[in-house]
Structure 1
Amino acid sequence: MDELIDILDTDGNYTGNSIMKSEAHKRGIFHPSIHVWLYTKNGEVLIQQRAKNKDTHPGLWDVSVAGHIGAGEDVMESAIREVKEEIGLDITENELYKLGVYKYSYQHHKDLLDCEFHHTFLSELKTPFSALKMQESEVDDLALITLTSFQKELESNVNSKKYVPYEMEYYETVLNAIQKRL
């Protein structure tokens, strides 16, 4: 789905201008997004398999919830909205812990350079897994994986290929932060 998003400079600062997401991806223009990593007190992380029709990383396993921040939209409101849209879960601002903002750039092909700043949050998943409702246009599957298994898969040359290729440092930051909250 195409949407109007804000333009950021290469340091993640808002420029005051907006652009359609498709054009930003075509031209490699930085823009803001959200990542929400949901975890259980049992040391599991919720991951989602991206829909196979997505233009970026189709079919790969990814963060629990990810999405673009609409032009002029508040970061926290965007995170809450995306969680509701993608997995049918109602959360509040108090349930989100902001981990940080991470710069990301990935050349999918010659006409798609995705340049984002991920506003990254953690939140405890208190709702039963069976109660989650996938947004079919965005998500093909959901799974819970233990922190230990997730770490091993990310470090494996074979298994890591099924995940969105973020820098290992990003994954380690998220997993360490979750571990500290358990």
Structure 2
Amino acid sequence: MQNQRIELLKKLLPGFIPLFVFIAIDEIWGTQAGLYAAIAIGSVELVWIYLREKRFDRFVVFDTLLLVALGGISIFLDNDIFFKLKPGLIGLILCAILGMSSFSKLNIIGAMTQRYMKGMSLSEAQMNHFRRSMKLMFFVFLFHTVLVFYSAFFMSDAAWAFISGGLFYILFGVVFLFEFIKQKRTQKNLEPEEQLPVVDETGKVIGKAARSACHQGEKILHPVVHLHVFNNKKAIFLQKRPMNKLVQPGKWDTAVGGHISFGEELETSLKREAWEEIGLKNFSAKLLGKYVWETELEKELVYTFVSYDYQSINLHSEEVEEGRFWTSAQIKKNIGKGVFTPNLEHELKLLKF
């Protein structure tokens, strides 16, 4: 993600080169010479980018034409305030784009990223992280834009030149340094954690993520196993979740439910979870199917199994407060009353229980 933001920045920064050329030459030879030089540099940039990347950079064109328009008005009216406002106008445009991308469903920056970096796709979690970074940049550049307008009216030419030019790069650097350090700290904190596979809806593993990252609302799709155990009277075994559980405390749930670890086979995970939660071993199970289950905190690809080998059930884990068999009549009597977890009620429908 950090490299993607840097690449996008590299795409945008050439558009500001004509402005910096103007500032440097204007200090030595005046506004008119600065405008001629900026136009020349902008034209060379357009040709160079087209020859190298086979694309027409509209941002360079926009920056150069805006420079010409405001600079021309400044010369015509013999008042450089119009030119000085130009970086502030660009800042307002950037703030508008960042604001819409961060606080609305119209993600302009995301669309630009997809366009400029073909072949790259962002997961939902990566896009959420990207939006948080854009919110930070929005407030930073809003502050910079206000400074540009203030310096244009109330500060010296040298102060305005630094604020509208060098300070822009400094702020970009500070933002990226902050994000880089934050990302490194997050990775370091998550290193000891269990890694879970990240999958698509077919179950294909496409990456991995820390367990905590999968439960923080970023909706990283990861696989879990559920096992329903029936006895010879067709009653179903359920476990009661402890009150200290973060999700659905004190409610009755599937007999066995747990995460598949990264690199772990589906059957291995099922056997491990069955032993850890209800002490079940030496059992056979049939795969009923899989489906996607989504809550406010997570998004799971659930593999649901059914077993009729119940004889070795032995509750020995602190993760399970209580366990017992429920008849079909008992289940129907308590459906929709907050006794069962929503996920269990969903699966009971699949089981037609």
Shorter-chain TM-score tier: 0.7 to 0.9
Tell me the residue number matched to 2:343.
166
Higher helix share: 2
Question: Aligned-pair RMSD on alpha carbons?
Answer: 1.9
Cα offsets for 1:140-174 (capped at 9, x unmatched): 110111023213321xx43xx02111285532212
State the TM-score, normalizing by the size of structure 2: 0.43
1:143 lines up with 2:324 in the alignment:
yes
Number of aligned pairs? 160
Kept in 1, the 8 Å contact 2:258–2:273? The answer is yes
- Deviation of 1:59 after TM superposition, in Å, equals 1.5
* Larger mean Cα displacement after TM superposition, 48-57 or 79-88: 48-57
- What pairs up with 1:120-159 in 2 under 5 angstroms? 120-127=304-311, 132-136=314-318, 138-154=319-335, 157-158=336-337
Cα offsets for 1:112-149 (capped at 9, x unmatched): x1210111000013316xx512311x111101110232
1:105 alignment partner, one of 291, 294, 304: 294
Q: Which ranges of structure 2 fall in alignment gaps of 5 or more residues?
A: 1-192
Decide which structure has the larger Cα Rg and report it: 2
Q: Sequence identity of aligned pairs in percent?
A: 28
2:223 alignment partner, one of 23, 32, 51: 32
* Larger mean Cα displacement after TM superposition, 21-30 or 64-73: 21-30
Tell me the residue number matched to 1:118.
302
Higher strand share: 1
Q: 1:132 to 1:163 in 2, by over 3 A?
A: same
Kept in 2, the 8 Å contact 1:6–1:14? The answer is no
Kept in 2, the 8 Å contact 1:48–1:143? The answer is yes
Letter paired with 1:74: E
Letter paired with 1:134: H
Larger RCO: 1 or 2 (CA < 8 Å, sep 6+): 1
Kept in 2, the 8 Å contact 1:134–1:141? The answer is no
Tell me the residue number matched to 1:22.
212
CA distance in 1, matches of 2:207, 2:241: 29
- Deviation of 1:60 after TM superposition, in Å, equals 1.2
Q: Which ranges of structure 1 fall in alignment gaps of 5 or more residues?
A: 108-112, 177-182
Letter paired with 2:349: E
